[in-house]
Structure 1
Amino acid sequence: MNWYVVYTKPKWEKKVADKLSQLGIETYCPLITQVKQWSDRKKKIELPLFNSYVFVQLSDSDRNSVFQVAGVVRYLFWLGKPAIVKDQEIEIIKKSLKAPNISDVTVSAIQVGDKIKLESGAFSNQNAIVQEISNSYYTLVLETLGCVLKIKYK
């Protein structure tokens, strides 16, 4: 059985994970504890590490069963197929969150000005600077090659 990534409605991660567990589906919704401060008090709350994502482990033939739960939007896709997360990657997330020295964890998306390293394709192992992000493409500056690269994504 594979681990898949389910995309949920915003702020529905814990509800979706609970409902899927009640259906007998193995789920994992990594949570972090943060202290939130309001004008009159401070409170520790558990927030999902990955906004709008829940990991589910099930067989390929049972993938449609997650849509029985309110709040499930779709599966996360990679290269036209549902994204599969390896067991060892789930274990790494679990171990990392149990480490005692973690105090503040954030996950952020690629932003304009970030320096990245391309890992695949014709320009693999090239360093680039993100110049622009639109709804369908990234514009990257490859300084060592002296060119601008526009990468289309879905």
Structure 2
Amino acid sequence: MKNWYVVYTKPKWEKKVAEKLSEIGIECYCPLITQIKQWSDRKKKVEVPLFNSYVFVQLEDIDRNSVFQISGVIRYLFWLGKPAIVKDSEIDIIKTSLKAPNISDISVTSVQIGDRIKLESGAFNNQNAIVQEISNTHCILVLESLGCVLKIKYK
């Protein structure tokens, strides 16, 4: 059975790695977003990877080492001691979301314990929170202005 794995690449090599993987017959996906870059003399629309240094590859477990033929591939992303596997549905969600016509800006950032964040949707929209705990099943946020703790469970 083919699974989607996450390959970690050299910085700024995502598009090159995806192109080379496709050339040797490995199905891959490097989600791209269009940004407007400002230089001193001009503005230009450029496609940049949504996830820095990540390319998704779909292959059999026994074929995982074949990606290391490509210059720029560093390693696989691991989760709980095993290569991280991304569900087909999650890849589909990324693809569908990037095609949505009403999206004007997307950014991906990692969250660490102690970070102060602002919730941007849902029942607690516009509330500031402090990340207290992150696990593979849930996240706990402290909403100081409301005097409560919010636990978000993942599906």
TM-score range for the pair, normalised by the shorter chain length: 0.7 to 0.9
DSSP-derived class of the 2:116 partner: coil
- The answer as to 2:79 corresponding to 1:86 is no
Instruction: Determine the C-alpha separation between the residues in 2 that align with 1:10 and 1:84.
Output: 22
Give % identity: 71
Q: Cα RMSD (Å) of the superposition?
A: 2.0
Unaligned runs of 5+ in 1: 130-142, 145-154
**Residues 126/98 of structure 1: CA separation in 2 closer, same or farther (3 Å cut):** closer
Provide the residue aligned with 2:65 in structure 1.
64
- The answer as to 2:140 corresponding to 1:127 is yes
Unaligned runs of 5+ in 2: 118-129, 143-147, 150-155
Could you tell me how far 1:110 is from its partner in structure 2?
1.2
**Residues 125/50 of structure 1: CA separation in 2 closer, same or farther (3 Å cut):** closer
Could you tell me how far 1:126 is from its partner in structure 2?
6.7
8 A contact 2:17–2:71 mirrored in 1: yes
Instruction: Determine the C-alpha separation between the residues in 2 that align with 1:44 and 1:4.
Output: 29
How many pairs are equivalent? Answer: 129
TM-score (norm 2): 0.77
Provide the residue aligned with 1:38 in structure 2.
39
Q: What is the identity, as a one-letter code, of the residue corresponding to 1:18?
A: E
Q: Deviations over 1:25-63 (max 9, x none)?
A: 000000000011111111000000000000000000000
Q: How does 1:77-116 map to 2 (within 5 A)?
A: 77-111=78-112, 112-114=115-117, 115-116=130-131
8 A contact 2:14–2:52 mirrored in 1: yes
TM-score (norm 1): 0.77
**Residues 59/117 of structure 1: CA separation in 2 closer, same or farther (3 Å cut):** farther
Instruction: Determine the C-alpha separation between the residues in 2 that align with 1:58 and 1:126.
Output: 31
**Residues 16/126 of structure 1: CA separation in 2 closer, same or farther (3 Å cut):** closer
Could you tell me how far 1:109 is from its partner in structure 2?
1.4
**Residues 41/83 of structure 1: CA separation in 2 closer, same or farther (3 Å cut):** same
DSSP-derived class of the 2:95 partner: helix
8 A contact 1:25–1:56 mirrored in 2: yes
Could you tell me how far 1:118 is from its partner in structure 2?
4.7
